[in-house]
């Protein structure tokens, strides 16, 4: 068989240009590899999990493997901002609220090095603390590093940096198959239009479409379930508009319970604040009901009840959210990431997958992207080892004979 044209042959092909894939392409290109980044839809589209105005970043996690990844990601966010010449991360405090004795809350506070808020009247208590009503038996604690990431802007930043380093970025290119060419070392990536690209390595980061593509390519079931969620922006009550801004030091925030809630300061839309519920109903990424969660008893109504209990003096829920934006989270049964080689006799260590980021992966994008690039290029991740990250938490094999994966050990 004749060799493919140079413009169709690359060291690394990254399939999926959300935040994880964009970061992986950037990391591989920064190593001097020739890189092709393919996106099924338009670049910066709003049909997946990486779009939107904001994401939070925080160090508090119930599981101890994540705070070191947050710290690594923060360093890499700042490195990328330096190279780009502009910022995408606005530092803020982070506030966690939860039942004082709840194991998840206690673990998160300990793992993230959080400090309980000083009581009312204490001079060290921040002015913004009065915006929250903390129920009897609950506690509130602050931590850092934390902040608000401009999501779409951040994704564009990594794509631009990758392109400046020589990566080829193509959108409207749906990948339908990944296969090894004969018995050689070449991975062939085939598209819906009939094009073929050849790579030494391949990184799959297709978000909500991960299970479908892996099933098509290997026949295996990857337990990643997309869920539909709703991002809601609510009107700040008159007189409190400035208090709830990043400029005033207002925090990102989250609660521990079932369901959990989270929010960001008033930033992207003046006079509005983002408050949302974690998770949502399962969905098919190719057949979504874009209105899910907007009706009576839906996600927006549940969030309104939370606001009325926890932030009644500063956020207005009358009439519901001012803005609603659909999104997807890609959940694993244990809510831990999948970072692994696709493996098997066909692919070995030549195809790497990052998937199942379970609603908390965006902040980790630069760290996970660099790890995926190193796994592809080197067969191991020196960055993960240096940061003290144990990648066995994220292997696909954890689900073999145990459909809940790591959940049994949490």
**17-30 burial by CB neighbour count: b if 16+ within 10 A, else e?**
bbbbbbbbbbbbbb
Give the CB-side neighbour count of residue 286, counting CA atoms within 13 A.
7
What's the pLDDT tens digit per position in 366-397?
Answer: 999 999 999 999 999 999 999 999 999 999 99
- Average the pLDDT over each of 73-77, 156-160, 278-282 and give the range with the smallest value: 278-282
CA 346, 349, 351, 355 dihedral sign is positive
The model's confidence at residue 294, banded by pLDDT at 50, 70 and 90, is: low
Residue 6 has pLDDT above 60, yes or no: no
What's the pLDDT tens digit per position in 20-64?
Answer: 999 999 999 999 999 999 999 999 999 999 999 999 999 999 999
Structure pTM? 0.96
**217-227 burial by CB neighbour count: b if 16+ within 10 A, else e?**
bbeeebbbbbb
10 Å Cβ neighbour count for 121? 6
Is the CB of residue 140 less than 8 Å from the CB of residue 96? Answer: yes
pLDDT value at residue 3: 45
Residue 2 has pLDDT above 60, yes or no: no
The model's confidence at residue 1, banded by pLDDT at 50, 70 and 90, is: very low
What's the pLDDT tens digit per position in 21-32?
Answer: 999 999 999 999
Residue 359 has pLDDT above 70, yes or no: yes
CA 301, 356, 409, 66 dihedral sign is negative
- Give the Cα separation of 44 and 54 in Å (integer): 14
Is the CB of residue 237 less than 8 Å from the CB of residue 314? Answer: yes
Residue 410 has pLDDT above 50, yes or no: no
The model's confidence at residue 257, banded by pLDDT at 50, 70 and 90, is: confident
pLDDT value at residue 296: 62
Compute the chain's Rg from CA coordinates: 22
Residue 183 has pLDDT above 80, yes or no: no
Q: Mean per-residue pLDDT for 70-80?
A: 98
Q: Mean per-residue pLDDT for 96-102?
A: 97
> Please, what is the average pLDDT of the chain?
95
pLDDT value at residue 295: 65
């Amino acid at each position: 068989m004749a060799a493919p044209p140079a413009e169709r042959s690359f060291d690394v092909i990254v399939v999926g240009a959300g935040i994880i894939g964009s970061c992986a392409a950037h990391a591989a290109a920064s190593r001097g590899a020739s890189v092709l980044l393919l996106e099924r839809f338009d670049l910066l589209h709003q049909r997946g999990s990486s779009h939107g105005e904001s994401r939070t970043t925080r160090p508090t996690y119930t599981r101890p493997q994540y705070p070191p990844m947050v710290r690594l990601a923060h360093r890499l966010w700042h490195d990328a901002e330096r190279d780009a010449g502009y910022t995408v991360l606005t530092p803020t405090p982070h506030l966690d609220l939860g039942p004082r004795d709840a194991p998840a809350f206690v673990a998160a506070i300990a793992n993230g090095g959080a400090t309980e808020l000083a009581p009312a009247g204490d001079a060290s208590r921040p002015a913004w603390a009065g915006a929250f009503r903390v129920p009897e038996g609950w506690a509130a604690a602050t931590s850092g590093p934390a902040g608000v990431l401009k999501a779409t802007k951040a994704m564009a930043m990594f794509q631009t940096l990758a392109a400046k380093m020589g990566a080829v970025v193509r959108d409207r290119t749906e990948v339908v198959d990944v296969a090894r060419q004969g018995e050689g070392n070449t991975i062939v990536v085939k598209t819906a239009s009939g094009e073929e690209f050849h790579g030494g390595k391949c990184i799959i980061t297709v978000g909500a479409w991960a299970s479908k593509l892996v099933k098509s390519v290997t026949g295996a079931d990857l337990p990643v379930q997309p869920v539909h969620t709703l991002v809601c922006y609510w009107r700040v009550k008159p007189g409190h508009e400035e208090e709830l801004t990043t400029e005033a030091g207002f925090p990102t925030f989250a609660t521990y319970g079932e369901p959990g809630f989270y929010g960001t300061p008033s930033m992207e839309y003046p006079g509005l604040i983002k408050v949302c519920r974690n998770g949502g109903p399962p969905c098919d990424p190719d057949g979504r009901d874009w209105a899910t969660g907007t009706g009576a008893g839906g996600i927006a109504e549940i969030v309104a009840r939370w606001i009325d209990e926890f932030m009644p003096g500063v956020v207005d829920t009358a009439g519901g959210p001012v803005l609603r934006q659909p999104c997807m989270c890609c959940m694993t049964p244990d809510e831990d990431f999948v970072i692994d080689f696709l493996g098997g006799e066909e692919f070995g260590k030549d195809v790497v997958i990052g998937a199942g980021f379970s609603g908390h992966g965006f902040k980790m994008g630069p760290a996970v992207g660099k790890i995926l690039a190193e796994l592809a290029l080197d067969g191991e991740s020196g960055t993960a080892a240096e940061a003290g990250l144990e990648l066995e938490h994220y292997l696909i094999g954890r689900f073999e004979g145990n459909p809940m994966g790591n959940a049994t050990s949490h």
